[in-house]
Amino acid sequence: MWIFIKLVGMIVAYFVRLSSVRWDRFSGGESEIIDGIPFKVVKIKNKQNVLSTSFVFEFKTKTIFKLSPESRIDKFFKSIDFSEEIQTGDNQFDDLIYIACDHIQFRQKIVSDSRLRDLIKIFFNRAGRSIKTNGTTLVFNIKGDISADPQLKQLALQIQKIFTELNQKPPHEMMDPFVIKAMVAEACVWSFGIYALLSFLDILLVNNQDVHFNKWLIIKSGLVLGLTLVALALLLVYLFFRGSSRGHRIFVESFIVLLLTVPMGGIGFVYDLNTGLDRSPAVQVQLRINNLERKVHRSRKGGTSYSYHMSIQQISDLDRWKVPTDIRIEQSVFYELQNRQNALITVRQGWLKYPWIQHIQPN
């Protein structure tokens, strides 16, 4: 059941992340009109403090781009020739702003229009954080509360009008070839992250008993597999996105997501492969119950949890498998085995040849 849930979760995460670039994340805010053009003013607050203000214009386009102050990470990846950014020849502009866009029409516009560059420089010199579009809206993000500043509104409006000229070209000429690849790569990475999260919940909430004879072998194999997948994924990102202005940001995002999720994701993947694809015959093993124990675990915050354990001795002889002498079991199994001397477990070989316990019952 949980394998099915994980697969569904991965598929849903993939398509959600794939389509998320066009979500309208600024559905709230106050509506205003300036020079006959409607837009919204959206504030991000922390308690009573306004952290940032965004001017949001409707902006239907096939060209996805983001302008932001050039960071040290941007400069580093440019220095090792991983990322290739649009250079306008305007040194002041090029040193101040990083352009995340690979479309030739956008390049021609930003290089040829000095007035556009001057307006953008003024915007960023006045606490501007970013100018970006997701294909449906054009968002100007500024630090702090500047919603009452008419000059910044007029500045954003002028830049918006110039960018709108790009949309007068045929749609097929405005499609950025790197966007689809970037969306697919991010969707794959995040779907693996969801798989890892569901694996964690599976182990934490559902399979809270010892399933495999040697759990440390599963952990070791999972970590090795996970690190291998991370290395392969980052290599593919490097090969596919080298030369793109977005390449290093996708690389860094993929590295962080995979690094955080690879331990549990790799372990969960090995666990699912070994049990979910196992078609070996079931073998029943008789055990003598030496002791049943309920252990109490107390957290620093005063919470209490319990784990249930069974100390056993193997009765039936199996040359291939030696059942561990101490097994963590589920609560329901613990109470089923009360006042019983023997137990019967169902053992299977495992698709990866890691023996595992499918079922425990009184005998």
In the chain, where does the domain assigned CATH 2.40.50 lie? Answer: 283-362
280 — phi, psi (to 5°)? -75, 155
| pLDDT for 119 | 92
Q: How far is CA 149 from the centre of its chain?
A: 37
Give pLDDT, residue 177.
Answer: 63
The average pLDDT across 102-109 equals 81
| Mean pLDDT score of the chain | 80
Q: What is the rounded CA–CA span in Å between residue 17 and residue 195?
A: 14
Region for residue 130 given its phi and psi (left: phi exceeds 0; alpha: psi -120 to 50; beta: otherwise) = beta
The CATH number for 283-362, chosen from 1.10.10, 2.60.40, 2.40.50, 3.30.70, is 2.40.50
Task: Report the share of the chain in percent with pLDDT over 70.
Answer: 84
CB 346 within 8 A of CB 359: yes
**pLDDT single digits (tens) 230-259:** 888 888 888 887 877 877 878 887 888 888
- Express each pLDDT in 175-212 by its tens digit: 566 767 777 777 777 777 777 777 777 766 666 676 78
**What is the residue type of 5?**
I
Rounded to an integer, what is the distance from CA 259 to the centroid of its chain? 10
pLDDT attached to residue 147: 63
* pLDDT tens for each residue of 78-98: 888 788 788 888 888 988 889
pLDDT in tens, 154-179: 888 899 988 887 766 555 555 566 76
CA–CA–CA angle 287, 290, 292 (5° rounding): 105
Q: DSSP secondary-structure letter at 2?
A: H
pLDDT reported for residue 18? 46
pLDDT of 318 > 60? The answer is: no
Q: For residue range 274-290, what is the model confidence (pLDDT) as tens digits?
A: 888 888 898 888 888 88
User: Cβ(56)–Cβ(69) under 8 Å?
Assistant: no
Q: Helix, strand, coil proportions of the chain in percent (round to 5)?
A: 45, 25, 25
CA–chain centroid gap for 266, Å, is: 15
Cα–Cα distance, 202 to 271 (Å, whole number) = 11
Name the residue among 122, 162, 126 with its Cα closest to residue 53.
126
By C-alpha distance, which of 103, 243, 84 is closest to 163?
103
Q: How far is CA 166 from CA 114, 145, 177, 358, in A?
A: 15, 30, 16, 62
How much is the pLDDT for 21?
47
To which H or E segment does residue 63 belong?
Answer: none
How far is Cα of residue 194 from the mean position of the Cα atoms in its chain? 7
Closest CA to 247 of 179, 300, 313: 179
- Compare 203 and 24 and report the one with higher pLDDT: 203
Tens of pLDDT, residue by residue over 115-152, are 999 999 999 988 888 998 887 888 999 888 776 677 88
d(CA 65, CA 117): 15
Q: What are phi and psi of 59, to 5 degrees?
A: -155, 90
